[in-house]
Structure 1
Amino acid sequence: MTLPLELPEIETIRRDLDREIAGKKIKAVEVSSTSVIEGSKNKKAFNAELVGTKLGLVERKGLYIFTELDKKKILFIKIGTGASIRRHATKDATDKDTVLKITFTVGGQLRIVDPKEESKVSVFSLEDLEDPDFIEEKFPEFKFLGMDPALEPEPWTEFAKRVLREGESTDLKSLLFDDSVVVGVGDVYSDEILFHAGLRHDRQSDSLSIQEVRRLYRSIVEVIVEAVKYRGTSIEEREFLDVFGEPGGFAEHLAVYGREGLFSPTSKKPVQKVKHKGRWTFFCETQV
């Protein structure tokens, strides 16, 4: 099973794109699969939206990457599971799974390679995006986004309110998967966060003490920031490559994920692997 990209990988891509394509002007657009286009009626209409426009700063909301165009429009990109977004010279050979090419007047191309064709690219006007109803229709997940530790972590007291919602409780792994609590945490980073917080994946959120909530908060921020520093995680289940075609370096720093039977880096006890709600989960018996 191929795992989807998580926050550190998407943030790594965003930062690279901001350095590489901000300020560039689009010369041509080639769409190989209309399944990746949202908002435009067809390839011709999509091309017309982009050709001749200049890209602004590359930003991110949740797991969407976006850039404001100079014609009062915004280009959104959602990278699908198993997909990659890459910089290329115009003369480079084209991968058979390339679904989109954007050629710049200077500085080569940007390509999305997506075997499953799950990526989504769309262009919307600033006027439309000022309408709350329009945003709710096109991006319903934006309304409920939780803490984004890679951009601006909220105060731990606000995070605690999300975790200790009155009348609500769930296991901690499911809690971390909830984008209304924290953005972009999945299989890999949930296990790493819980290990460093010393908390079990099946512990109920309403059983946490304030000190444990604070520990969980600190672990989320530290693990995500460190993973971004090492440019994401490339593993067998997720062969992540950055904009330059290079793998992320955080796999070498994983404490428990994928390390079944190896010694935990802190307790020197073997890492265990169990199936929890259909997901393989790695942890140490010292987690409580």
Structure 2
Amino acid sequence: MNKPPGADGNPPNGPREPRSSRWSDLGRPPLNVTALRRGLVREGGLWSEVDVVQRTGSTNSDLVARAAEGKAVEGAVLVAEEQTAGRGRLDRQWTAPPRSGLFFSVLLTPSEVPVARWGWLPLLTGVAVATGLSRAAGVDTALKWPNDVLVTVRGEERKAGGILAERAGDDGVVIGVGINVSLKEDELPVPTAGSVELAGAVSTDRDPLLRGVLRSLEEWYGKWRAAGGDPGVSGLQEAYAAGCATLGRTVRAELPGDRGVVGEAVAVDGDGRLVLATEDGVQEPVGAGDIVHLRPV
């Protein structure tokens, strides 16, 4: 039977609605790049450009390559609706259904800050992400040292996001962020994962969530850069400690070289290292490695 004009949802004799239309998936609509640019890119602000791609392997790899080719400047933001080869620390894979999260990378060139202090950038990003999500989604967030974002799902802490920083040439750092937003229980990659939705968010609209996170990142980066990267003067060290779920717990640090250290996480020092008080009465700073929480606070 012939359909009357317009019966398929398209205007008679008019253009067909593209598959990438914002209304093509009401549960997980695509990001509105025009609104994002309007809300984030401004004169005198940090964010210089915002690009959204439908699908890529890794936004970090793409943005590092753009920077190497001179095609990206500080404040460039690259967002992917789907990331097929997203990477976490230690080359772990990060996968999620299309449009189910926020997968993005930013290019920063903190020339005013000594390189020795650049190690604070992943921790700074963690503070910014946790703050932005709390404000925009209304969820309780916490940080697991050094680069995990935690949410609470039915009384249990779960990882909902991760951060990866990579050098981009001699003067730049690309920071990648992955956040599970609307993943359902049966879509989680592992049982210990979580999402903003499962944590009881008041909103899972990714546009305001992304704007909130990037505005928070701009705010914290500005404070840190103005203080010459000093984590104490900028307030970053205090803010990170206040939101860090690792502090006060007995943890096991799995260090390079197959060495492990067990102790209570007592502080994050001025270099961003996690300080462990061991049973031997020694305070050992940990600058790199996996941290396993052994008991709750």
For the aligned pair, the TM-score class normalised by the smaller chain equals under 0.3
Q: Please state which structure has a larger fraction of its residues in helix.
A: 1
TM-score with structure 1 length normalisation? 0.21
Greater per-residue strand proportion: 2
Higher relative contact order (CA 8 A, sep 6+): 1
